[in-house]
A and B are shown apart, each in its own frame.
Chain A
Amino acid sequence: MKRLCKTSQFALFALLVITILVFGVMNHDILSVASLYSLARTCTVPAIFALAIMVVMVIGELDMSYCMIGAFSSYAVFFALHEKSITKFPLLVIFLAAVGISIVLQLLNWFLIDQLHILSFIATLGTQTFLKGAILAFVGSSYIYDIPKSAVDFGTTYLLSASYKSGVATQLPLAVIIMIGMYVLMNLILEHTVFGRKLYAIGGDPDAAKRAGINVSQTRLIAFIIVGVICGIGGVVHNCLGRCSLPMPTDLVGQELNGIAAVVLGRGASQRAKGTVSGTLIGVLLLQFISNNLIMIGVPSYYQGFVTGLIIFVGLVTQTQIGSTLFSKILGKKGAVQ
């Protein structure tokens, strides 16, 4: 227990628990199983995309195009199926095709960042703008509602369901399993393999990593391929859950900063790691929980942006030197800042 308290994610986890309890006192429905399922459902897609940006942030880069790449690859696949008017198609092939496209697009990012040494934020901003224009101008701009049956089935298969006291039912979709599986796998890769340690080493200092004998360029390449895989899966899951495919989903594209915010919140007070898997998950949960349930405790929905901003801001302040000194003074801990 003591070791658990010392991990950098503990503060965030405590914040999440406190928020849930405070919200729960105000509206008892929030503490129900139904609310949990609804949270899991809304979290699935943001959590997958947050995982993608986390890998990029671990190697010390930033990506503004990850959501667009996910949306692009998924829409391209569904558009091709729609054009050929195929309604029966194995889900696995859809996933593989989308993953393939998004890997290619992430390799473009890798080329710009690693080979041409363009600042990652700017380069991926370029790819985002470029892809956004490309998909709408050349591929298609209409919503696709007749996506293959296998995809619809995947989106509407529910593991469990529960209902609020008012009788509104919520379900736990199958896609949650994919999300959790990806988090477990990523945690294994990042925390328990040499490759994962290499990623953190590069994120800490690329030059030092190079001198330690790490092939920086190659490791980054693999990292970007992983990001591509996550983006592709995320895009398809998003479309399956929504049961339609759209070229520019506004809940993804333009919301890149929310993913970054989740990672930043999740890395906790220690700035040493640029992102952790467990922290990212808690960050996503916190942000989604607040935006989900603010309206349930009677706060008008237009306060949502303000509150989210405030939470991100407080999270950022607690991570800085000044903030963590203040934080530990309040808690009365000694030597918490190191």
Chain B
Amino acid sequence: MKKTAVRSFDPDVAKMLAITIVIFVIMVVLNGNFAKSSNLTSMCYQLPELGLYSLAMMMVMLTGGIDLSVVSIGNLSAILAAKIMKYATTNGFSGIKLFCFVILGIIVALCVGCFFGAINGLVVSKIKIVPMLATMATSEIIEGISIILTQGHSVNGAPEQFTRYGATTLAAIPYSMWILILVIMFTAFLLHRTRFGFEAKMVGSNPKASHFTGMNTSQVYTKAYLYSGVVSSICGIMILMRTNAAKADYAVTYVMQAILCAVLGATNPNGGHAKVTCMVLALLSLQFLSSGFNMMHLSSYFKEFTWGLLLIAVLALNFLTDYIRQKKGQHKAVQTTGSAAS
């Protein structure tokens, strides 16, 4: 991690850090209980769902695409896992047999994520449909499959031995938060330390040039969508673990929120640029806003209002800083040296 020193002075990270701290301070001033451990723990329970979907979205956005099917993939995996686990509980399995069924459910869910992620990737890279429209269509199809499977009802009845982990903590941090932390670490590793991460950035910033340098661009796309599918299905399993229910249209608004969170977190929607640290900060600031407003007994609509405003404000701020930088005649390359950390 020799780059850490440089990256901490990165203007994007600095800006996002400042925003997060300002929101945190405002919330602490407005409600006394905000910084209490009980509130922080409850935030840890709410955070991972959006966090995982945003990570999935971020990886696809890095390659210049978008994945609108994250939530439907998550829901379908959760439904299949729930069905398998329900079979085990209704037949009264216990002990090692039950454990096997839980593992089977999780594996099937992950396979669903892999399968539809790969399909998304192939459709985008091989058939060359615009990512937004392609994933929109697949999301509709996947949601359709979920509705056909469940007929619109929610599936519950996962064994208590499994759902218990959704409500308990390990070392004062909920299990779901641990999952998020692991995925974040894995993503950071993938982005900054592997060939795939590098290739994804290159393909995102200029697909044609990367193609001519000999990269297998379609493979990179497929991998990115595969990653997104798998992370979405992890999220689906986690939601099942926490709520003990899987539903075809659970939390469909997460798609938009995930895009919002990824873009706030300095992911370039045109591709080629993403920072895990920024995204985590964006996630935190959104959660601070929503928890804080909740504690002030403001409606959840107010939260949505501020989220939208925040997105527009940050984008406008990005434009302004870019504009000023251009006026000063500074080139983009100067950014990384840390001189422009303002």
Contact = CB atoms under 8 A, between A and B. Distances in A.
Contact of A112 (B145, B298, B307, B316): B316
B137 interface: yes
B141 interface: yes
Interface string A257-280: 100110010000000000000000
Contact of B319 (A118, A306, A308, A321): A118
Given A316-B129, A317-B129, A321-B128, A129 B136 contact: no
B312 A127 contact: yes
A323 B302 CA distance: 45
A20 B217 CA distance: 41
B144 A308 contact: yes
A6 interface: no
A133 B170 CA distance: 36
Contact of B308 (A117, A131, A138, A254): A131
Interface residues of A, number: 49
A133 B308 contact: yes
Interface string B113-139: 000000000000011110011101111
Contact of A127 (B137, B308, B316): B308
Interface residues of B, number: 46
A306 B66 CA distance: 21
B185 to A, nearest CB: 27
B15 interface: no
Contacts of B66: 121
Interface in A304-327: 304-310, 312-313, 316-317, 319-323
Interface stretch (B32-40, B147-155, B196-204, B227-235): B147-155
Contact of A132 (B134, B270, B301, B319): B301
**Majority secondary structure, B binding face:** helix
B181 interface: no
B315 interface: yes
Given A118-B316, A308-B140, A316 B304 contact: no
B140 A112 contact: no
Interface string A111-153: 0100011110111011111111111111001000000000000
Q: Which of A112, A126, A141 has the most CB of B within 10 A?
A: A126
B301 A118 contact: no
A303 interface: yes
Nearest to B143: A305
Interface string B301-314: 11111111101100
A323 B128 CA distance: 10
B259 A320 contact: no
A130 B263 CA distance: 15
A18 B299 CA distance: 49
A125 B260 contact: yes
Q: Which of B126, B134, B304, B306 has the most CB of A within 10 A?
A: B304
Contact of A254 (B252, B270, B306, B311): B252
Given A122-B269, A125-B259, A129-B260, A305 B308 contact: no
B316 A316 contact: no
B329 to A, nearest CB: 19
A264 B259 CA distance: 22
A129 B304 contact: yes
Nearest to A138: B305
A308 B140 CA distance: 7
Given A125-B259, A320-B129, A306 B308 contact: no
Contacts of B26: none
B151 A119 contact: no
A125 B256 CA distance: 7
Interface string B61-83: 00000101000000000000000
B129 A260 contact: no
18 contacts: A64-B256, A121-B132, A129-B260, A134-B305, A257-B140, A260-B133, A303-B147, A303-B148, A306-B145, A306-B147, A306-B148, A307-B144, A309-B142, A310-B144, A316-B134, A317-B129, A319-B129, A320-B127
Q: Which 10 pairs across A and B sit closest by C-beta, in order of nearness?
A: A306-B144, A133-B305, A130-B308, A309-B140, A129-B308, A133-B304, A136-B301, A309-B141, A305-B144, A126-B311
